[in-house]
Amino acid sequence: MSAAALARARDILREVYGYADFRGEQAGAIGAALAGRDSVVLMPTGGGKSLCYQLPPQVLEGCALVVSPLIALMHDQVQALAQNDVAAGCLNSSQSAAEQAAVVRRLRAGELRVLYCAPERVLKPQTLDLLKAANVVLIAIDEAHCVSQWGHDFRQDYLALDQLGEALPGVPRMALTATADERTREDIAERLALTDPAWFVGGFDRPNIRYGVRPRVDERAQLRAFLADRAGQAGIVYCMARKKVEAIATWLVGQGFDALPYHAGLDDAVRRANQERFLREDGVVMVATIAFGMGIDKPDVRFVAHLDLPKSVEAYYQETGRAGRDGEPAEAWMVYGLQDVVRLRQMVDQSQADEEHKRIERLKLDALLGWCESIGCRRRPLLEYFGERLAQPCGNCDNCLAPPRTFDATEAAQKLLSCIYRTGQRFGAAHVIDVLRGADNEKVRGYRHEHLSTFGIGAEQSVQHWRSVLRQLMVQGAVYADVEGYGALKLGASARPLLRGELTLELREDSIEPRGGSRRRGGSTAAAAADLGPAESALFERLRGVRKRLAEAQGVPPYVIFHDRTLRDMAVRRPATLVDMLDVAGVGQAKLERYGQAFLEALDE
């Protein structure tokens, strides 16, 4: 990138977006685009990926084509760009014919700087003809991990996007994602047929997110405890099944939370309305399947809770990354149990994928399970999965803050493994534990298992204890659930040395209380205002009120006006004039002209 282009890019960054300098890999990625080079850009959620493709067309006075699978994100980004006086539009199935025609007219007239388009739309012949006639200076493929079958969110429509390079030769292409391991990164570059791409891999660490995992005991009681001091905070609760989503949402409403359901089985209008409320209002909790979230640009999500285990480390990282995009403290909290392990492994085994793909999926699941059972810093192995090292324990995860107790589980494991063997490796967890604990019931008597040598040898321990031991043995490969045997427990490869006493085994000791998350934050804005004094905090709340009024008047989410971080900086700096306000991070020229006076008046009160 020439010195003149770099200087112009920095000018636009300051004038339009209100920031003094680029972050992380932004300057490199923008430079590659301006130099006409293909690139792969990996940045954590909230790291500023969108700026990498929004800024080059403003320097080159052309249009960036952004391929995105997310209609909600398209509209969000178009609204946000309009606030900065950057001409943008989108083409997708949610628009009327008249709306699409208006966007096409603006594109043909050379007015648009950014055009968002869905992958299934962009490759239609009429769309390609339209793009060939336009001044497209950059092709950005957002959520690029969707192109990889090794990724956690593969989409068939993405496989044909390599055709964009042939249709628009000479136009640089930029593939962007927040989540991709080494295999997925290589797959992205190969499947998109990128030419000698430049690689920009930002750090994956999100130090503001506190990670915590609890064994599932009573998930509703545990969730209630976790949310006890989070009334008024925006958050997402992920569940695997649609029925569970609706049940938990209804239950949360009964507990006094402003909760809404979201899953693919809901009516489109209901889904859109619920998403709009989550984006525009404060303190809404969205209970959802993974159908919700990718590309959601709400910066002040204070927590992401999982009531079911995701499929992989990548999926977990992507989903928890929706918390704390504003850089303020946030929490990623999860409960999981034995049934999660069994169900997810069954899903992999019963899938239609080839054996190599199944093998990789099992490895990904095992990596997540191992992470869940970790007794050390959680952030370290999470970052190592993506090839990044952390020198010191993070001090901001459950294991760092309250190191788990462990116990010598060698004898317990031998008892459990022996019981699985003695019962013929034909039964599930409930029956094996009943035999182990000496339960007197019809099924035990029906199989005459009260006469086994293992009957009652684990009577001194609770059902919860044995389920914990079994869960951890399954994670370690000593036990597995046979899919064709209807989930019957069988001994795995590492069971033999344990039974022979050739190994000793340390397991984590699950605490059974429904403990919540940290108790350091409370209230909807406490996290954002945590470092403010009483006077600044009161001013911050006043500024939020101004922002809400302006947002409602325009029909946009509050964060499209200004992020909390900008309001906090404003409360600390207390600018006295419009010129002073340009020193506030996130205040560019267009927003100064639109909103500066309203916020100055609030500061003067």
Instruction: Tell me where in the chain the CATH 1.10.150.80 domain(s) lie.
Output: 534-604
pLDDT recorded at residue 363? 85
CATH 3.40.50.720, domain 3-201, yes or no? no
pLDDT recorded at residue 513? 53
pLDDT recorded at residue 348? 86
Structure tokens at 310: 């995701």
Structure tokens at 450: 């009260």
pLDDT recorded at residue 37? 96
Q: Taking a C-beta distance cutoff of 8 angstroms, is the pair 503, 305 a contact? A: no
Q: Taking a C-beta distance cutoff of 8 angstroms, is the pair 459, 439 a contact? A: no
Helices (H), 374-441: 379-385, 398-401, 410-422, 429-437
Q: Give this prediction's pTM.
A: 0.81
Torsion of CA 433, 439, 443, 446, to 10 degrees: 120
513 exposed, middle or buried (CB, 10 Å; 0-12, 13-18, 19+)?
exposed
Superfamily name with CATH number, domain 534-604: HRDC domain (1.10.150.80)
pLDDT recorded at residue 519? 43
DSSP string covering 359-384: HHHHHHHHHHHHHHT--S-SHHHHHH
Residues with pLDDT less than 70, the chain: 1-2, 149-153, 294-295, 483, 485, 512-531
pLDDT recorded at residue 516? 44
pLDDT recorded at residue 239? 96
Q: Of 282, 294, 302, whose CA–CA distance to 236 is shortest?
A: 302
Instruction: Tell me where in the chain the CATH 3.40.50.300 domain(s) lie.
Output: 3-201, 209-401
CATH number of this structure's domain 406-508: 1.10.10.10
Instruction: Tell me where in the chain the CATH 1.10.10.10 domain(s) lie.
Output: 406-508
Residue given tokens 């001091």 in the structure block: 229
Q: Which CATH architecture has domain 209-401?
A: 3-Layer(aba) Sandwich (3.40)
347 exposed, middle or buried (CB, 10 Å; 0-12, 13-18, 19+)?
middle
